[in-house]
Structure 1
């Protein structure tokens, strides 16, 4: 860096001559002669000073400052710098103390938190009543916001306690809600209600099993999983897309809910509860055995149907007559009956009404009040006692060993072009 020259700059013809630099002793004498500024004790809290622009951001000028015409002590650039520093110090001391950075940050944080709380409250009010579990529901929230759905809880039991031998009213309410919202998303959102209802029905079936076994000794005490049907529907080959059944059900037979034997059946559905027994759409071989037994032992079937309790409970009070009870029984199973005779039998057969059947069932409806009553199991056990002779008549052909003649007859029926 070149050394600064100590010679004074040549005077410009247009500008007045610059004052010669004074020595340090002269500057000291001048500064001592000036009157010192006294800090005022006046309250300047209401006064707001104007912030000065820093000299470091001003463009540099090659010309030196001019002296005033009066020849006052303007001083050099160094004196100007000292005066500016004194002025800034004075201004700083006279300004009222403002909030510190930490206080400003805390206020900003509180304001932000309050704004978020207000936004959350308004968002919660906007989402109130909306079914957020359902696909396609618009929340109306902007990006970066989240929706918190509270964890579902099971419906309160109320004044009625859960008991093993009685169905709880909440189980009925769950099935009613499921009928209105038969969707997977809904069931996931109401999983506690489903589990409570499922457990309630399973305990009811578990405690009912010994009573049914006491009436019909052929029914073993199987675990609940072998008696209760699952609520999920198989929709792979069905036109009905609903994923769930809207009822609970269970079946008791020699092999539980599955197997070739006739079974007792309990169906719990709000407004459509019923109890029944029999064989529904049996396979080809059991169906052939049943038809062969009806053709040979029709009198035994008619005797079972003419029993007073059977006619009163399951045949709508039909008169004590063979044709009347057969007509009432076939009318209940007409949905799956053949329009004409089955293969291997004549159309003028005396028992053609029974032979055309493809399901052999009896049942009667039960009101919701009866199903939820404390004595519901006793009522079901009493109906099982009425159905037991019919179920035994339907099971007997499946248990008897086949003789040579009957074996050939059944084989001929099974090899027919159309069994049904």
Structure 2
């Protein structure tokens, strides 16, 4: 016979006291109860559904029936975090012995800020600090002329050496522009006289013969941004190129003039050494020229020292800064001109006083020095960059 159906609940579940024999149904469901609820028969499921419907109709919320999940508890909300409040704002809790949720230090800090705000007057005019630019030096009795420098130009270079900074030069920009213009006019007039002394030197613009005052400090240990001198070089291609040049250097206390090949390329050095080895007589003739020796090579007082050998030693002594310590590769250590073979610079220089740039006859003296240098410069250019139409001299070798 079929199993008897369970009796349906006729009314809502009522809570009874402790004295009653019935026990109140718990609203919580254990894991074991849930297991049996899922493992019950289909008929029992129907009965459970009927019981749940009856309970819902009667409005009994004291507990849930078996086989159902309990309702989640509502999470407690902090004050001020509801829908009507501001989210993310912390709740200020009262501390013992304090009011308003602020400690003594915090309150004092806010009071100081309020006092500063009250003291600040927006309508008060701002303070402006004016830094007056230094005045330019007066020209004095001497005027600016093209064929000589003004003393203010040398004074500017002297001040630049003591204040080699960008800020200082920016404040003295007017003085710098005036000195540069003075130097440009001096170089322009000197260019005309040099081209007249050496016909191989063309008339080039100022920018092609002048050295800029700005230093390249990318790979230098000296951080000063400016040179403390003015300089210019004249060659067949200006201040740049493979040709020998004439050079003037204007620096207060260290002025000099000179010429030749300074730091030539490796190919040019190889040609010069080959010429020293193959044509030594030509080198002796150029270095031993009386005018050249008198102006550019220091000589002894004795007559026996006024020889080509002495001139060769004096020339080698002037170029010992970056010379080789030993013989170059491919040459004998006992070579008769090993002193010249070890050189990597082929220049001569002469110190001159500062007044040579400021005097009326100073420029003529500089040109006179360069006239005695023309044969030496021409000799170097014939080796480094020989002319195709030039005739080669067959000089005999000197005796050892």
- Look up the match of 1:6: none
Q: Which residue of 1 aligns with 2:383?
A: 397
8 Å Cα contact 2:242/2:385 also seen in 1 = no
Indicate yes or no: 2:358 matched with 1:372. yes
- What are the superposed Cα offsets for residues 361-400 of structure 1, whole Å, 9 maximum, x if unpaired? 0010110112211111111110010011111111111223
Partner of 2:283: 301
Q: Does 1:282 align with 2:268?
A: no
Matched, 1:230 2:216: no
Displacement of 1:242 in angstroms is 0.9
Alignment partners' CA distance in 1, 2:387 and 2:352 = 38
Q: Secondary structure at the match of 1:148?
A: coil
The answer (yes or no) to whether the contact 2:356–2:363 under 8 Å persists in 1 is: no
Spell out, residue by residue over 1:163-195, the C-alpha distance to the aligned partner (whole angstroms, 9 max, x if none): 111100000000000010011110001001111
Mapped partners of 1:371, 1:397: distance in 2: 33
SS at match of 1:276: strand
- Comparing both structures, which one devotes a greater share of its residues to helix? 1
The equivalent of 2:146 in structure 1 is 164
Contact 2:299 2:306 in 1 (8 A): no
- Which consecutive unaligned segments of at least 5 residues does structure 2 have? 1-124, 389-400
Q: Distance in 2 between matches of 1:295 and 1:362?
A: 21
For the pair 1:252 / 2:238, whether they are aligned, the reply is no
CA distance, structure 2, for counterparts of residue 310 and residue 264 of structure 1:
14
1:357 maps to 2:352: no
- Given the superposition, is the C-alpha separation of residues 169 and 401 from structure 1 closer, same or farther in structure 2, using an over 3 Å criterion? closer
User: Cα distance, 1:344 vs. partner?
Assistant: 1.8
Q: Is the alpha carbon distance of 1:401 and 1:172 closer, same or farther for their aligned partners in structure 2, counting shifts above 3 Å?
A: closer
**Pairwise CA RMSD of aligned residues?**
1.5
Q: What is the aligned counterpart of 2:175 among 168, 174, 193?
A: 193
- C-alpha distance in 2, partners of 1:314/1:398? 22
* Aligned counterparts of 1:177 and 1:399: Cα–Cα separation in 2: 41
Deviates more, 1:209-218 or 1:152-161: 152-161
Name the CA distance, whole Å, in 2 between partners of 1:233 and 1:242.
8
Displacement of 1:287 in angstroms is 1.2
In 1, the alpha carbon distance for the partners of 2:329 and 2:375 equals 29
Query: Which of the numbers 162, 165, 168 marks the counterpart of 1:183?
Result: 165
CA distance in 2, matches of 1:298, 1:238: 39
Offset of 1:401 from its aligned partner? 6.8
SS in structure 2 of the partner of residue 157 of structure 1:
coil
CA distance in 1, matches of 2:334, 2:367: 40
Task: Give, in whole Å, the separation in 2 of the partners of 1:292 and 1:317.
Answer: 27
